[in-house]
Amino acid sequence: MSEVTRPLRSLLYMPASNAKAIAKSRTLDCDAVIFDLEDAVAPNEKDAARVRAVEAVQAGDFGNRTVVVRVNGLSTPWGEADFRAVAECAPDAILVPKVSSAAEVRACHELMSAFPANTQLWIMIETARSIFNLAEIADVASETRLAAFVLGTNDLCKETNARLVPGRAAVMPLIALAVTAGKMANLAVIDGVYNSIEDTAGFEAECHQGLEYGCDGKTLIHPGQIAIANRAFSPTEAEVTFAKAVIEAFSLPENADAGALRVDGKMVELLHLEQCKRLCAIDDVIRADRSPAVPAESAA
């Protein structure tokens, strides 16, 4: 069973060029905040946004939230400078866009030599080439800091000319491949954004779709999406109750050598026991007390 650390149900993109947005992120109930130096920042603001992101991460006060900085791609004029600057502030992870090959993952890993050992490498899966290289990309996780795939569904549609419509029929096969490859290497896999901010019903449906396909959480573009994502990607009370019943059944002395049991009318095996332990561990983390939000004067 993989170690459960922090849930990644809701990951909010925040433009690093916006000081008010950065301050607000310290008070929001998202599991992770991603300070964006890439898509959300205009070229003439890149340098200033980089400085602001570094200062924000260094200032801290993000409680239990995972803090991530999305840098610009290495093929851009800003990519390597972003890597050098972000190394100074030691976020929980650095998110690199448009990674398409194992060689590029290794290059990112090498550029992280100055980072603290616990800073993870996350990559965007958002190019057509990355889909066909998923297995080889996942395979280098064992020799690099690679810890997560973040799906860039808008860019995947742009590259493939697919339509991002309700149900995401053209996109879901790509997501399924990414989840399968990511889990093969024990990576977190995060679903892409939902563009219609006011369509809460559509957003909730897409969260549940991502959950059903194996995603660990969803990237967000608006604080109003946080509560829905947190609820969708949290174990339900019924799931936790059943999981605890499975764990208890297998723990009974008379079942010490059992490979399969009947619990609440369902046949469960040892593989289900491991799933149940993981679900309960995630539930425990979610229920644990979060660090309190910073005082209002600190977030002004």
Q: Taking the complete model, does pTM exceed 0.85, yes or no?
A: yes
| The pLDDT of residue 285 | 87
pLDDT band at 292 (very low <50, low <70, confident <90, very high): very low
Tokens 């959950």 correspond to what residue? 211
Backbone angles phi, psi at 218, to 5 degrees: -140, 140
CB under 8 Å to 291, separation ≥6 — which residues? 63, 64
Mean pLDDT along residues 155-173: 95
Could you tell me if residue 299 is inside a domain? no
Q: Which residues pair with 125 in a beta bridge?
A: 151
User: Both 113 and 162 in a single domain?
Assistant: yes
The total of structural domains in the chain comes to: 2
Mean pLDDT along residues 264-276: 92
| The pLDDT of residue 299 | 34
User: What is the H or E stretch that residue 65 is in?
Assistant: none
Could you tell me if residue 160 is inside a domain? yes
Mean pLDDT along residues 10-15: 96
Residue 204 near residue 228 (C-beta atoms within 8 A): yes
User: Both 91 and 71 in a single domain?
Assistant: yes
pLDDT per position as a tens digit, 56-78: 999 998 988 999 999 999 999 99
Eight-class DSSP state of 235: P
Residue 226 near residue 201 (C-beta atoms within 8 A): no
Q: Residue 296: is its pLDDT beyond 50? A: no
Query: Which stretches of the chain are assigned E, i.e. beta strand?
Result: 10-15, 32-36, 66-70, 93-96, 120-125, 146-151, 188-191, 217-220, 260-263, 266-269
pLDDT per position as a tens digit, 81-113: 999 999 999 999 999 999 999 999 999 999 999
Could you tell me if residue 296 is inside a domain? no
User: Both 186 and 226 in a single domain?
Assistant: yes
Q: Look over the chain and give the mean of its residue pLDDT values, rounded to a whole number.
A: 92
Q: What b/e readout covers 13-46, taking b as 16+ CB neighbours within 10 angstroms?
A: bbbbbbeebbbebbbbebbbbbbbbbebbeeebb
| The pLDDT of residue 6 | 82
How many CA atoms within 13 Å lie on the side-chain side of 24? 12
Residue 8 near residue 32 (C-beta atoms within 8 A): yes
Cα–Cα nearest to 204, from 241, 181, 231, 243: 231
User: Both 204 and 255 in a single domain?
Assistant: no
Q: Residue 268: is its pLDDT beyond 60? A: yes
3-state secondary structure of 73: coil
Task: Give CA–CA dist 164/182, Å, rounded.
Answer: 22
Could you tell me if residue 4 is inside a domain? no
Task: Give CA–CA dist 91/278, Å, rounded.
Answer: 26
Domain range for 266 is: 237-287
Task: Give CA–CA dist 253/208, Å, rounded.
Answer: 38
| The pLDDT of residue 87 | 95
User: Both 127 and 197 in a single domain?
Assistant: yes
Task: Give CA–CA dist 238/115, Å, rounded.
Answer: 42
> What is the rounded (10 degree) CA torsion for 3, 146, 35, 6?
0
User: Both 172 and 267 in a single domain?
Assistant: no
Could you tell me if residue 132 is inside a domain? yes
Q: Residue 300: is its pLDDT beyond 50? A: no
User: Both 188 and 123 in a single domain?
Assistant: yes
Binding-site residues for Mg(2+), in ranges, read 126, 155
pLDDT band at 291 (very low <50, low <70, confident <90, very high): very low
Binding-site residues for substrate, in ranges, read 70, 126
User: Both 139 and 248 in a single domain?
Assistant: no
pLDDT per position as a tens digit, 229-251: 999 999 999 999 999 999 999 99
| The pLDDT of residue 2 | 42
pLDDT band at 47 (very low <50, low <70, confident <90, very high): very high
User: Both 47 and 188 in a single domain?
Assistant: yes
Q: Give the percent of the chain with pLDDT over 70.
A: 94
- CATH number where 187 lies: 3.20.20.60
User: Both 77 and 193 in a single domain?
Assistant: yes
Mean pLDDT along residues 279-285: 90
pLDDT band at 5 (very low <50, low <70, confident <90, very high): low
Binding-site residues, in ranges, read 70, 126, 155
User: Both 39 and 65 in a single domain?
Assistant: yes
* CA distance readout (Å), 23 to 37, 63, 282: 16, 13, 28
Could you tell me if residue 118 is inside a domain? yes
Q: Residue 150: what residue type?
A: V
Q: Residue 257: is its pLDDT beyond 90? A: no
